[in-house]
Each structure stands twice: as C-alpha cells, then as structure tokens.
Amino acid sequence: MSDPLIRVEGLAKRFAGRDGAHATVFENIHFSIEPGEFVCLIGHSGCGKTTILNILAGLEPATDGYVFVGGREISGPSLDRAVIFQSHALMPWLTVMGNVGFAVSSRWRDWDRARVRAHCQKYIDLVTLAGAENKRPAELSGGMKQRVGIARALAIQPKMLLMDEPFSALDALTRGMLQEEALRICAETSQTVFMITHDVDEAILLADRIILMTNAPNAKIAEIVVNTLPRNRNRHDMHRHPHYYRIRNHLIEFLVDRSRAFDEESAASGYDPRHPPLVRPGLAGDSPAPEHSIPARPPTAAKPLVAVVK
Amino acid sequence: MGRASRWAAPALSVLLLLLFLGVWHAATLPTAGQQVVDAEYAKLVGAAAATGQKTAFPSPADLGAKLWQHLKEPFYDRGPNDKGVGVQLAYSLARVLAGYFLAALVAVPVGFLIGMSPTVYRALDPFIQVLKPISPLAWMPLALFTLKDSSISAVFVIFICSLWPMLINTAFGVASVRREWLNVAKTLEVGPVRKAFRVILPAAAPTIMTGMRISIGIAWLVIVAAEMLVGGTGIGYFVWNEWNNLSITNILAAILAIGLVGMVLDQMLARLTKLVTFPE
C-alpha cells in the first residue's frame, strides 16, 4: 500500500466551558486517505464533522492531534487542499469567470490574463457551465452556483478536495444531477476527495470508504465502512445491487441507533480508536461476519428500521 | 392601470405644488387699505407699513422674477457683498468637497484598520464615541484660533463632520465581511494586500458608500451654518447677508438653490453606491 495522502492522528477539539471544564466535541480521531480515494464522513449534526474538515483545510486549529498531508504536517490553509463550501461562498461582485479566475490567479500569480481565462474556461466547461461565464452568482440557480464552487476548487488543481455538505442546500433533483457529475468528474480527474455529508445515499453513491462518527460530546470514529459496490455505480440502478441495501441499512442503523450508544458497545468489543474497525456490510450475506460484529438490537429500537427498509 | 399609476404620482406632485403656490399667493395678496395702527404712528412709518397692504414677504411671482434674474446672471461679481448666487454656491461647494475628500482620505484607511482589528476597534472606540456627537460648529472657535483663517476653518468643520459616518461605516463594512469569503481567500493563500483590495474592499464597498452618502448630506447641511459664522463668501454667508438686507426674496431663492444642490449631491452618491452594490 502506498503512503496515504492524508493522515490524521489523534485529532481532538475541546472548548473551554464556563466553569473551566473542557467540553470535548471529538477526540482520538485517527484515519487516513489514499491518493485517488473518495472518503465520506457521516454523522449527526453537532458531532464536529465540519470542524474536522476545517482543521484539514487549515481554517481552524485543532486542540490536539496532527494532520499530515503527503507526510508533512499542515500549518494552515494551502492551495493543495481546495474547499467546496456548503454555502458555495462565491463572491457576488464577480462573474462566474471572475470567481474561478480569482482562484486561478491566486494559484499561478505570474500567469497573464489570457492564460488564466483559458484555464478557467476548461474547468467551467468541465462543470457544464459554458455560456454562463459572464453571469453573476445572483443570476444563477443554486445548483449552478455550486457548480461554480466545484469549478473554482478544481481549477487550482489541488491534491485534495474537501467538501462540506456541498449538495445539502440543493433540491433533490439538482442534488442528484450534481452528485452524478461529481462522480464523473472525480473519475475523470482521479481526484482525492474528503466529503462531509449526512445523506446516506449520497455517501453510498460517491464514497469508496465511509467513516462513521458517533454523537457529540466525545464523538469518535465508530467504524469505517468499505463500499463494496462497483466503482462504476450510478444513481439509477445502484439500488438493484445486492450490496446496496445491506450497506444502507447498516449506515442507517448506525445513525438511528448505534451512534448514540456507541460507548457501551465499544466497551464490550475491545474498540481501539487508533484502528477503528473496518467493516464490509455489503458482503455480510455472502461471507462470514466482518471484523466487527453488530450487537443484538434492543427490541424498543425496532421501529425506525421499518421506515428505513420501506 | 400601469400607465395610470405611472402618471399619477407626477401629476399629484404638480397638483400639490400648484396648491402650495396658490395658498402662498393668496396669503401674500395686498389687503385693502385698512388702518391697523394709530394715525400718528402711520405718519411715522409710512402708509404701506401701517396698513399692512404690502408685507415684506414676497409672493410666488416676486420669487419667480428674482429666480429668473439670478438664472440670467448667476456668476456676476460686484464686490464683496454683491456676488451672484452661482459664485456663492461654487465657494460653498469647493469648501464642502475639499473637507469631504480630506475626510474620506482619513476615514477609509482608518476605518479599514478599525474594521480589520478588534483591538484597534476597542482602543479607538471611546474616542469615536465622544467625538462623534460633538456639533461640528463647536469646533469652529478652536479652528479659527489654531488655523487663523476663516475659509480653512470652514473646510475643517466640514472635514470633522463628514469624518464620522464614513469612519464608522467603513469599519462596520470591513468588520462584517462574510466569513466564508475570507475563508475562500485563506484557502487560496491570498496575501494581505490582495485580500484587502480584491475581497474586503468590494465586499464592504456598499456599506462604505452608504457612509459617504450620509457624510455628503451632513456636510452640505453644515456648510450653510459654518459660512453664516465665518462670513465672506459662500451660500451660507449669502443667506445671512440677505437677511441683513431684509431681502426675503433672495433668501428664498438661496434656500431653493441649497435644496437643489443638496439633492444633486445626494443623487450622485446614490448612483455611485448603486455601481458598487452587488445583488446577493
């Protein structure tokens, strides 16, 4: 196995409480991302998902722990790690071309105007926004705005793309289209991606590995789910694959149930935060139990599962 | 409906103006020669004053004639106490613009600094809070004493009164630039100068321009009072001089001119504000 592109060791975030005690949002976060891999982090709101992404981006300091990119510890934001923000964060006084161009000319300061434009055009075409170059963000739909955000992030050719719930503010139809485009673009550019989401289907569609986080306070990585669906999956027939519902049910069961009471569960199973269990629920029916066995569910919690399986 | 509503407002405006002029005209009509004062007193002050036939207050027609006279020859100069309204307005405008641009030169950079640094903001805040509510005219004696020139003192008064809105709005605009835009700049490793000019300035420009618009309005209000004090030239001095001449017609003409110039200044700044405003 090659050296991971990103290695996160013992990351923690604590806030000083009013009485001097520290409130721990998350701690003991260990994971790594291989080059070309698409990794999703999934968990309930408040568990510090966005904080982890901001720490990886260099926008926020961690209370504890280290992040290594390509073997070197990060010391702040970098053009190597482009961020796609949930709220697209486009500058409303610039056109589409201006927004992408601002990023490109920040990356390559010695490029002349024509070269910047040509480079921007390539990425505007990639996100299928050709023809809207001179529009301002206010004239674009939510989906188009987020495409500009994606083009801006990709145009600086980062080693790593960090996405913070990039599609959650969009309507369902637009979200589906953009997810597919993200899949296509990542396949075309073999981009390494770390994405935050709380949408289970989005995670299954896009991610190679899905990191499951428990609830705050003291959130931690419960396990890492390997997506065993073939990489050429798509939104339309993904659900026909036998692995799909196994993975989906596993994820939802975790979010509904286990994310809350993970401490009790982990105490019994010899959980090690440095090596959170790697599970393949997609293979659960075909092969013996994975490294980590799911404990029996209490009878009271059976209700949500009905809604989940449909 | 669309066409009707388009013309309804201007028509109503014209109607109101006509109504106002009508009432004014009726109020200034000479009344019948009725003795209102003692006969001895009437001999003393003259028949016109005694009967109240003709008040010193002009009718709309008097004002119209005066305005026509001023419009025909706005820039004449027949000595220190007899200059055209145009010349006086030009003096006032020059003072306002000088003080205003000096204030902008100070307020925008300092406001930027205050907006960028919470420490500087907290350090300067008490001074701003104390200095801001001071009437600009209160500075006048101090300015006259230190600067020893009435015209420069008037410019100083304009400077000090247009400083605060620009300073406070710039600081506020800069401090409330959306965090996500700053984060974008951070992740792109944008340097501080490029960040200031390419991100913060355009983001804060609408707020800064709003401050500049408030400032020009205040400056134009204050210049009239300042020139009444310092005298010599300017539209404020003109108004005071015509009061001493008891020419209410000229005062009314000047008031109208002050209003019109103020409106033009405000509209110019409004246009500029619109230019830098971006739709969200």
Chain centroid to Cα B173, Å, comes to 24
Cβ distance of B188 and A59 shorter than 8 Å = no
What are the phi and psi torsion angles at A79 (to 5°)?
-70, -10
Cβ distance of B279 and A81 shorter than 8 Å = no
Element spanning A160, H or E: strand A160-164
Q: Would you say residue A302 has pLDDT above 50?
A: no
Q: Taking CA B161 as the corner, what is the angle to CA B159 and CA B162, rounded to the nearest 5 degrees?
A: 70
Cα gap A41→A64, rounded to integer Å: 19
What are the phi and psi torsion angles at A74 (to 5°)?
-85, 150
Which residue bears the tokens 């209410």? B248
- pLDDT one digit per residue (tens) for chain B, 280 residues: 566 778 999 999 999 999 999 999 998 887 655 556 677 776 776 655 555 555 668 889 989 999 999 998 888 888 877 888 999 999 999 999 999 999 999 999 999 999 999 999 999 999 999 999 999 999 999 999 999 998 899 999 999 999 999 999 999 999 999 999 999 999 999 999 999 999 999 999 999 999 999 999 999 999 999 999 988 899 999 999 999 988 899 999 999 999 999 999 999 999 999 999 998 7
Q: Which residues of B are less than 8 Å from A107 in CB distance?
A: 188
DSSP letter (8 states) at residue A230: -
Please give the C-alpha separations between residue A297 and each of A200, A256, A287, A310, in angstroms, as whole numbers. Answer: 20, 12, 21, 19
Cβ distance of A138 and B184 shorter than 8 Å = no
The sheet carrying A81-84 orders its strands as A81-84, A160-164, A192-197, A38-42, A209-213, A221-226, A278-279
- CB-based contact A153:A177 (threshold 8 Å): no
Interface of A with B (CB under 8 A): 57-59, 76-79, 81-83, 85, 87, 89, 91-94, 102-103, 106-107, 136, 138, 156
Closest CA to B203 of B90, B111, B256, B280: B280
Chain centroid to Cα A115, Å, comes to 32
Q: What size, in residues, is chain A?
A: 310
Reported ipTM: 0.82
Q: What size, in residues, is chain B?
A: 280
Cα gap B150→B143, rounded to integer Å: 8
Q: What's the 3-state SS for B54-101?
A: CCCCCCHHHHHHHHHHHHHCCCCECCCCCECHHHHHHHHHHHHHHHHH
**Which one of B180, B198, B203 has the shortest CB-CB distance to A85?**
B180
pLDDT tens for A195-240 read 999 889 999 999 999 999 988 788 888 889 999 888 888 888 888 8
Q: Burial, B74: exposed, middle or buried (Cβ in 10 Å; 0-12, 13-18, 19+)?
A: middle
Q: Would you say residue A289 has pLDDT above 50?
A: no
DSSP letter (8 states) at residue A238: G
Kindly report the nearest CA distance between residue B174 and chain A, in angstroms.
Answer: 15
Q: Does B192 touch chain A (CB under 8 A)?
A: no
Cα gap A277→A224, rounded to integer Å: 6
Cα gap A46→A26, rounded to integer Å: 10
Cβ distance of B202 and A91 shorter than 8 Å = yes
